[in-house]
């Protein structure tokens, strides 16, 4: 296909979010403005659960007081020093989430021994020293699980050499602690001292930590508005994992989302039937994909009173092989409409918006921004380009270009099964890019189906043992 044969592009307006399960008018395209105006989605459903949210601390020696000050900072308004065309003033945690936060009872918190700094500096494997100490203290807190909701772990900047180790199979403290969190059922929030205290814009720090805290305590900040309740989305990712005995396994992470973008549990298990591996990407046999999807559908049915979705959309970052396609249909034959979509982030495609020049129609004028978010271009019967980054026209006539500069790269969407107009697939993915509850941004480049799946897969790679049970995603964000 030559450039002259490309069809006209289309544009999808910004997806709205809903902040109330009853009031359909509680909608906004801006997640933070929506929270300010309407409060979080789950305030009606779980009002008794969130009074208040109790926070426990694990802190370096001598920093307990400073950690308490951070929590008190959440109670106060904060004005933005950055992204002023997007970031609203933070009104205080209780004003936004309609519930309070408080420090957990005395005796619950852990102040680490002063000797830990010296042990880390002198250790041949500093990551092992820090990981062991924090794991021990999380086990201690687990015995008092009923006394708190979330644990803040403050990481001293003097421990930086212990955060990662390339020699120890690419050890990453963040992934290691998230794995411990999931195994023990203790939601944690990691706080890097230099980021949480030294970051200039206190408004941004407050928004990010407040939303994450609410979600990790079990709350639902918002959902995608107008989603088809009979559609389910599944994100699949893989990780290469080593057991304690040194055995290598391929682990699969599968998370099923309702159409509104909420997927509160996911499955993780080792797969036996790998057809082949290409560039560290495993491709499953028909039987193994059948097992993956059968367990995923069982999880969906458990969450939806035994009902199957009328339509199922599966997202994967790599292509679907013929055995994988057959395996999906084997497991989901009772589902009437199945779509298998590869969502590819790294592409060589680029696009810029050229507006018509009334004075010279043959030439055209470059637009103020490279392109609008929500632009999509179908390039053949089974493939489309979708720009999930770009300028967003905001209420009041303002523009918001999150990336600030550069030319955004589109996602390449390739359909390996299914039918119907591509604008429906693009609109759904656009909405799912707004469902990451672990930041204060308007959107991510990837839909939450793959954003979380990739994040979870990284954590899975550090887990020496997988339990045969669903995991709650709030332990991993």
pLDDT digits (tens, 9 = 90+) for 354-373: 888 778 777 788 878 888 99
Q: Higher model confidence: residue 243 or residue 298?
A: 298
For residue 88, pLDDT beyond 60: yes
What is the reported pLDDT for 250?
73
The pair of three-digit structure tokens given for residue 129, joined into one six-digit string: 């020293």
Asked if residues 457 and 281 have their Cβ atoms less than 8 Å apart, the reply is no
464 or 405: which carries more pLDDT confidence? 405
Return the pLDDT at 1: 47
What per-residue confidence (pLDDT) applies to 249? 65
| Amino acid 50: pLDDT | 59
**pLDDT of res. 244:** 56
Say how far apart CA 213 and CA 187 lie, in whole Å: 9
8 Å CB contact between 230 and 311: yes
**pLDDT of residue 268 exceeding 80:** no
Cis status of the peptide bond prior to 52, with omega within 30 of 0: yes
pLDDT reading at 241 higher than 70: no
102 three-class SS? strand
Measured CA to CA, the distance from residue 136 to residue 131 in angstroms comes to: 9
Give the confidence band of 394 by pLDDT, cuts at 50, 70, 90.
Answer: confident
For tokens 């490279």, the residue is 370
**Residue 72 CB partners (closer than 8 Å, separation 6+):** none
Predicted confidence band at 464 (pLDDT cuts at 50, 70, 90)? low
Place of tokens 């069809």: 7
475 band by pLDDT with thresholds 50, 70 and 90: confident
| Annotated domain spans of the chain | 3-15+227-475, 46-216
Please give the Cα distance from 120 to 159 (Å, whole number).
Answer: 7
Assess if CATH 3.40.50.2300 describes domain 46-216. yes
Query: Are the beta carbons of 55 and 103 closer than 8 angstroms?
Result: yes
User: Could you say which architecture CATH assigns to the domain 3-15+227-475?
Assistant: 2-Layer Sandwich (3.30)
Within 8 A by CB and 6+ apart from 84, the residues are none
C-alpha 416 chain-centroid distance: 25
pLDDT of 462 reads 67
79, 143, 210, 476 from 76: Cα distances, Å: 10, 32, 12, 28
Residue 476 phi/psi, 5-degree rounding, is -110, -15
- For the ranges 45-49, 297-301, 397-401, the lowest mean pLDDT is seen at 45-49
Q: Is the pLDDT of residue 58 over 90?
A: yes
Nearest Cα neighbor of 408 from 384, 396, 420, 390 is: 390
DSSP conformational letter for 90: B
Helix (H, G, I), strand (E, B) or coil at 355: strand
* pLDDT confidence of residue 230: 92
Q: What percent of the chain has pLDDT over 90?
A: 59
Residue 242 confidence class, pLDDT cut points 50, 70, 90: low
**138 with 181: CB under 8 angstroms?**
yes
Average pLDDT over residues 397-402: 84
Structure tokens at 466: 């997988």
Distance CA 270, CA 465 (A): 10
Determine contact, residues 348/268, Cβ cutoff 8 Å: no
**Burial 99-136, CB ≥16 within 10 A → b, else e:** bebebbeeebbbebeeebeeebeeeeebbebbbebbbe
Query: Rounded to whole angstroms, how far apart are CA atoms 248 and 244?
Result: 10
Q: Cβ distance 72 to 163 under 8 Å?
A: no
| 161 pLDDT higher than 80 | yes
pLDDT in tens, 201-232: 999 999 999 999 999 998 999 999 998 999 99
Kindly tell me if the per-residue pLDDT of 196 is higher than 80.
yes
Q: Tell me which residue has tokens 């599944």.
A: 234
- The alpha carbons of the chain give a radius of gyration, in whole angstroms, of 23
- Between CA 356 and CA 377 the distance in angstroms is 19
Which residues does 129 contact at the CB level (< 8 Å), separation at least 6?
A: 116, 119, 120, 123, 162
pLDDT at position 267 is 82
Each residue of 175-185: pLDDT tens digit?
889 888 888 88
- C-alpha distances (whole Å) from 258 to each of 224, 326, 428 are 10, 23, 11
- Give mean pLDDT, residues 316-328: 95
Partners of 412 in the β-ladder: 344, 385
* Cα–Cα distance measured from residue 256 to residue 250, given in angstroms and rounded to the nearest whole number: 20
- In this predicted model, which residue has the larger pLDDT, 453 or 416? 416
Distance CA 295, CA 396 (A): 47
Percent of the chain predicted with pLDDT > 70: 92
Instruction: Specify whether the CB–CB gap between 266 and 459 falls below 8 A.
Output: no
The pairing of beta strand 188-192 with beta strand 150-155: parallel
pLDDT at 303: 86
Q: Which two tokens stand for residue 99?
A: 């519930």
- Work out the average pLDDT over 116-127: 94
DSSP, res 51: S
Average predicted confidence (pLDDT) for the chain:
88
């Amino acid at each position: 296909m030559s450039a002259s044969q490309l069809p006209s592009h289309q544009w999808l307006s910004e997806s709205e979010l809903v902040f109330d399960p009853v009031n359909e008018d509680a909608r906004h395209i801006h997640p933070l403005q929506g929270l300010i105006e309407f409060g979080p989605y789950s305030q009606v459903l779980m009002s008794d659960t969130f009074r208040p949210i109790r926070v426990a601390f694990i802190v370096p020696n001598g920093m307990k007081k400073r950690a308490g000050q951070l929590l008190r900072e959440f109670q106060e308004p904060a004005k933005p020093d950055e992204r002023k065309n997007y970031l609203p003033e933070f009104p205080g945690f209780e004003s936004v989430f309609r519930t309070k936060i408080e420090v957990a009872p005395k005796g619950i918190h852990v102040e680490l021994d002063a000797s830990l700094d010296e042990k880390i500096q002198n250790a041949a494997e500093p990551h092992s020293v820090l990981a062991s100490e924090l794991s021990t203290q999380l086990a201690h807190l687990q015995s008092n699980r009923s006394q708190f909701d979330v644990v803040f772990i403050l990481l001293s900047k003097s421990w930086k050499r212990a955060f990662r180790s390339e020699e120890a199979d690419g050890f990453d403290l963040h992934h290691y602690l998230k794995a411990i969190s999931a195994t023990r059922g203790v939601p944690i929030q990691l706080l890097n001292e230099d980021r949480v205290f030294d970051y200039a814009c206190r408004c941004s720090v407050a928004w990010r930590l407040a939303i994450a805290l609410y979600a990790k305590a079990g709350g639902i900040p918002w959902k995608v508005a107008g989603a088809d309740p009979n559609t389910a989305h599944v994100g699949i990712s893989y990780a290469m994992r080593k057991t304690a005995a040194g055995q290598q396994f391929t682990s699969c992470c599968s998370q099923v989302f309702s159409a509104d973008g909420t997927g509160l549990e996911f499955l993780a298990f080792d797969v036996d039937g790998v057809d082949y591996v290409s560039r560290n990407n495993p491709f499953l046999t028909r039987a193994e994909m059948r097992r993956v999807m059968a367990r995923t559908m069982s999880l969906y049915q458990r969450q939806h009173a035994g009902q199957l979705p009328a339509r199922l959309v599966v997202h994967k970052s790599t292509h679907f092989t013929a055995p994988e396609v057959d395996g999906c249909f084997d497991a989901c034959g009772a589902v009437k409409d199945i779509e298998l979509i590869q969502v590819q982030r790294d592409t060589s495609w680029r696009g810029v918006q050229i507006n018509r020049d009334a004075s010279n129609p043959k030439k055209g004028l470059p637009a103020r921004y490279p392109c609008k978010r929500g632009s999509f271009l179908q390039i053949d019967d089974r493939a489309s380009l979708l720009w999930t980054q770009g300028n967003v026209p905001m209420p009041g006539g303002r523009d918001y270009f999150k990336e600030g500069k550069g030319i955004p790269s589109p996602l390449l969407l390739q359909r390996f099964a299914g039918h119907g107009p591509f604008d429906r697939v693009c609109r759904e993915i656009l909405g799912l890019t707004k469902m990451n509850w672990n930041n204060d941004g308007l959107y991510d480049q990837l839909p939450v189906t793959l954003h979380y799946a990739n994040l979870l897969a990284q954590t899975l790679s550090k887990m020496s043992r997988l339990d045969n049970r669903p995991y709650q995603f709030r332990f991993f964000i």
